[in-house]
Amino acid sequence: MTALIESAVDKDGKPLEITTDCRTRMNAPTGGLATIKLWPPAKDLGPTFLDLCAPADLFHAMTDLSNIVLIRTAPPFGGGKLAKAGDKHSFDGFKAQWVRGGEEGARGTPGGTIALTALEETKAVVQWQPAPMTVNLTMSAPNGTMRIVATEDYAFELTIEAPSGVLIAARTLHDDLNGTILLPNMPAEQAPKLVSHREVILRRHP
């Protein structure tokens, strides 16, 4: 499964500025930005997933798209075992790691559940909920190294066409991150807190 990224904008709605060289390194389709293999998945979230020249806004959006594909496709999550509305299965823990241009990150969860919450003649609705994840980020700062230690609680809902299995839409039911920003030369007890809420929506292009 491959994603052809035709265009992308930042959080303010402005087109991402990506050089011609970077587009080439990301195997951009004609007139587009990047080509990304989503399944089988890359071994990690480093350059085998997306070249290190990619802007952070594009990289993080593509990790969300990768998550959705894995929920739908990866056997360890047990989606293929869901047969009727109300079916629910547990899955084992997993972790993801990446090193990208001065940023090193890791996320992990001890496990979670996947459930078929609705099944109609033309569509199925699946909810995927990992246990709260530990998140650790390390990045370069002007006076040393900055670390973020946090917990992320999130869940995805996928709407899938039946019986073909084609993805119709996906969204986060919630995505909340709470943590601490550990700054160079600052006592831990004075470290600022980080509270973040995100919303992810994937839908078919009109």
**CA 150 – CA 178 distance, rounded (Å):** 5
Is pTM beyond 0.95 here? Answer: no
Report the chain's C-alpha Rg in angstroms. Answer: 18
pLDDT digits (tens, 9 = 90+) for 28-87: 999 999 999 999 988 888 888 999 999 988 998 999 999 999 998 899 999 988 999 999
CA distances from 40 to 4, 73, 199 (A): 16, 9, 26
- The token pair that represents 102 in the structure block: 């001065």
Nearest-10 Cα torsion for 199, 102, 142, 19 = -80
pLDDT at 23 over 90: yes
Per-residue pLDDT band at 172 (split at 50, 70, 90): very high
Burial of 50 (0-12, 13-18, 19+ CB in 10 A): buried
Q: What is the pLDDT of residue 56?
A: 86
Residues 6+ apart with CB under 8 A from 140: 102, 103, 146
| pLDDT, tens only, 109-130 | 999 999 999 999 999 999 999 9
pLDDT 10s digits, 127-160: 999 999 999 999 987 788 999 999 999 999 999 9
